[in-house]
Structure 1
Amino acid sequence: MGSTKTTLPALSENTILRYFNFIALYFAQGIPEGMLFFGIPAWMAMNGKSAGEIASFAIACGLPWSFKFIVAPLMDRYTILSMGRKRPWVIFGQLGLMTSFILMAFIPDPLNNLDTFMLAGFIVSFFGAFQDVATDGMAVDIIPPDEQARANGFMWGSKIIGTSASLALGSWLLNQYSYTVSIASLSGLVGTIMLVPIFLRERPGEKTMPWTAGTASLENKQLQLTNWKAIFKSLYSVFKLKNSLLLAIIGFLIAGSINYMDILLPIFTVKELGWTNLTYSQVFATTSVVGGIGGMLIGGLLVDKFGKKRMLNIYFFVWIASTVVLFFMKPFWANTIFINGYMFAYSTLSVFCNIGLFAIAMQCCWKKVSASQFTLYMTISNIGRIAFAALIPPMKANFSWEITLLGFAGIVLVSWVLLQFLNIKLFVKNVEKLENKDIERRGMLSTIIDV
């Protein structure tokens, strides 16, 4: 086929297009999460499924997010470099996400076919995680350091809005029409968003598609690693740093605490408070959208102005305090305004905490192993999601709702203590030292080759 020319600037050249690209891709990430982690669990609860069955579905959907580290080194090692370092993988992930959604839509009688239902959720989540790895790697490569906090605000806000929109639309279609119509409609949204990475290149002169004209950029050629030993050696060097390990542990605890509460909320509101799945979906979607918009508008700005660590300290404190209030105010649980207020505070702080943690992780990544390092943090975080989801059945079986909900505050409290020992400036300096040593080594090798 002939070449295709585009007049659009590359992502590396244009700030507005960079923001637009990552807003769209993170919105797409939120689409499967809205139904898999919120809408479907509430639907299952309304249809009489047990907390154990709902948690099993959530674990099946969460597992692929813990396998992300398997695909991340592949993305650092292999690519169609003439199309960009991570962009080919982003397109493939979007295509897989759309296709798996379509397949999931046509499972017969999913509520009574739970094994197949969980397998389908696993596959959709796999491609969602796949797209996430590629998108994060692209973000670390393309977004300049002075834009990273604000970009994370846009990205996480967009993801929450995508999650909320998917939850609200998917749940409405589920109740008004059918399961098949609901899930199939979401695949159409994912397919539409796939047009964004198809038409926006990473760097000038690259191909938009394999059959179009273009060449690999010099910068990408210099960043691209060509052997496994170099990838894993570099990754080990940066990950073994004290602050890197500490960041990974904090990520494990915070992601686990969020997933713990995310799974509890639909069960709590439907089974304990008597809400319908549609009522829960509408309330959670609304509070999440408000939190997402807040993240987009001020989340990144607050981190830029007052510092990542300082803002995380504030977020963790308010998170703990609001949950302790929920614990002591059981007589007010029947008050819709009270519960809505807690869900609003929880959802908003979830967005703001993720913006801060992701900005730290992105700032401290070594670009040559960006996908692998960032994904390793996210993989450890998602292991936390599974670990704390698995706590829900025994917690609910042995403790009251008050203690079960207070468990969330306990996990955040441990994270808050560990945060005090994290030194971001030292972390960045150590990564810079590794980069300088690598440049010196490559310079010496080049000299030897020339001689």
Structure 2
Amino acid sequence: MNMSSHRGIRTAILCLLYFAQGFPYGFVLYTLLTVFLDQGYTRDQAAIISGFSVLPWTFKFIWAPLIDSVRFPSMGLRRPWIVFAQLGMAVTLIANARAGDLGSLAPGETIEVSSWLASLFAWVPGSTDATAGNEISTLVFVAGIFFLHNAFASLQDVATDALAVDILEESERGRVNGFMWGSKLFGITAGTTGGAYLIKHFNLNFTLQVMAIGILVITACVLAVREREGEKRLPWSKGAAGATRSKALRSPIVVLSELFRALSKWTTGAAVVLSIITSISAGIFIPLASDTFINVFQWDSLDYSSALGTWGIGGELCGALIGGYLCDRLGRRKIAAIGGLGMGIAMISFSFLVSKAAGDPTWILPVFKGFVAFQTVALFSLYMKISWTTAAATQFTLYMAVSNFGTFIGNEIARIEDMERAELFMISGVSALVPLAMIFLLRPDSIVELRNREESSS
């Protein structure tokens, strides 16, 4: 079985890999974040968890030239990197299981680690909770290990996106992007609601081990298929490189030179700025919503996780599938703009509700997250369309990396305790509306024409 010639297989593998990204992500940013808030940590302290989890995704710009430069073509251009990253994700989850049960998550609790790990976590930005010697706070330990976990997850995401750019046909990109995003949402649901259930009935240690097993099972599925016909399934199997232009090593200078050439056009360069700005709103929402539901509307942390895993993820799933379907028919820019408009209106409306601390806040979860997904799948498809030159995978990954940097910026804005929650939600809404005009200034068809001319001339 190989992915390049079987549409169903490549779609299934891409969806499984996005699912693998989703359930640790949902568990950390939604379930674990609310658990720490429920244990008595402040919004500023708990946001260390979400900040440390998001920050490694900005490393994608480092990973992209690496996987474009160092290849193992006999096993596929992207598959070896995916397997390596998946194994790293599993190992870090197993390491994090040392945090134990919920009792050890209380403020002031510490955990003993090796001296080098204590030194590493002591200087991680935003951490003021490291203690003397080889003991660090449980908060910093969990945040630090999930920082490492998400470094591997971001590498897996880069390799998966590069695989999608390589093997997906133009006519299926919008639809498959919707499926991939939907799969990640199913993963987030599993991590959010499933993680909350496992913590409640077992403990944190058991929950993390279950997630590690899930990642290893998906890794086995990746090992069971090839990228292209004739390639090796395993290092000791028979086979040879199945891709054209599949040198094992490429100079990073060549990759970066091609990237700079790709970004020299208005559309491709402006898309970098667009990717940052469109992510700030959701970055503010993640920690701020958890804090608001628990401390303003007096929700229990596990009840919030359950609502997020049902209403919130349900809205995201609908937004992803509908957005993916429509962007191939109505146009990527129109769908992205509609999503941003909906995000802005939802956040501004919710800010008035928060200022009065009245009414049922549940509606914001499916509405806002649905519009986020609606916009995201359209932007992903747009970024794929305008990725050109031989560094197309690196260019696409750059857009993903800077979008995560935008999420990190939003997370840091949410940590500002001198501002009222209603004001922060208002900022989130305005930041969603700001980039709408820029979306229509992009000219993606001109990039496609340029790419086609280059391919014809070569």
TM-score (ref. length: structure 1): 0.90
Q: Distance in 1 between matches of 2:234 and 2:99?
A: 33
DSSP-derived class of the 1:391 partner: helix
User: CA RMSD for the aligned pairs?
Assistant: 1.9
The equivalent residue for 1:243 is: 267
Q: 1:378 to 1:193 in 2, by over 3 A?
A: same
Select which of 217, 222, 226 maps to 2:250: 226
Give 1:290's aligned residue. 314
Q: Distance in 1 between matches of 2:160 and 2:21?
A: 10
Q: What is the one-letter code of the residue matched to 1:250?
A: L
CA 1:237 to 1:331, structure 2 compared with 1: closer, same or farther past 3 Å?
closer
Q: Is the 8 A contact 2:316 2:372 kept in 1?
A: no
- Amino acid of the residue matched to residue 131 of structure 1? Q
Q: Which amino acid aligns with 1:324?
A: I
> Is residue 16–residue 218 contact of structure 2 (8 Å, CA) maintained in 1?
yes
Equivalent residue, structure 1, for 2:42: 50
Q: Partners in 1 of 2:286 and 2:160 — Cα distance?
A: 24
The question of 1:123 aligning with 2:148 is answered yes
Shift in Å at residue 322 of structure 1? 2.1
Aligned to 1:445: none
Q: 1:16-415, aligned counterparts within 5 Å? A: 16-107=8-99, 109-111=104-106, 112=109, 113=137, 114-221=139-246, 226-295=250-319, 297-330=321-354, 334-336=358-360, 339-366=361-388, 368-394=390-416, 397-415=417-435
The more displaced of 313-322 and 160-169 is 313-322
* Conserved? CA contact 1:81–1:220, under 8 Å: no
CA contact (8 A) 2:90 2:216 kept: yes
What amino acid sits opposite 2:367 in the alignment?
A: A
In the alignment, residue 186 of structure 1 is paired with which amino acid? M
Secondary structure at the aligned position of 2:244 is classed as helix
What is the CA-CA distance between 1:296 and the residue it aligns to? 5.6
For the 8 Å contact 1:238–1:434, the answer to whether it is kept is: no
Q: Looking at secondary structure, tell me which structure has more helix per residue.
A: 1
Deviations 1:174-203 (A, max 9, x none): 122211112221111111111221112111
The one-letter code of the counterpart of 1:83 is M
What code does the residue aligned with 1:401 have?
A: R
Question: For residue 448 of structure 1, what is the aligned residue in structure 2?
Answer: none
| Pair 1:291–1:408, CA change in 2 (3 A) | same
Calculate percent identity across the aligned residue pairs. Answer: 27
Which residue in the other structure is 1:417 paired with?
437
1:392 and 1:372 mapped to 2: Cα distance?
A: 30
The residue number in structure 2 matching 1:430 is 450
Letter in structure 2 aligned against 1:125: N
Return the alpha-carbon distance in structure 2 between the equivalents of residues 90 and 155 of structure 1: 16
In structure 1, what is the Cα distance between the partners aligned to 2:18 and 2:250? 29
Structure 2 contact 280–428 (Cα < 8 Å) conserved: no
**More moved, 103-112 vs 345-354:** 103-112
Contact 2:262 2:389 in 1 (8 A): no
Number of residue equivalences: 425
Paired residues of 2:342 and 2:368 also in contact (CA < 8 A): no
> What residue in structure 2 maps to residue 449 of structure 1?
none
Inter-partner Cα distance in structure 2 for 1:33 and 1:420:
32
Q: Which moved more, 1:367-376 or 1:287-296?
A: 287-296
What is the TM-score when the length of structure 2 is the normalising length? 0.88
- Cα distance in 1 for residues equivalent to 2:353 and 2:283: 23
For 1:135, give the aligned amino acid: T
Unmatched segments (≥5 aa) in structure 2: 110-136
Shift of 1:291: 2.9
SS at match of 1:221: coil
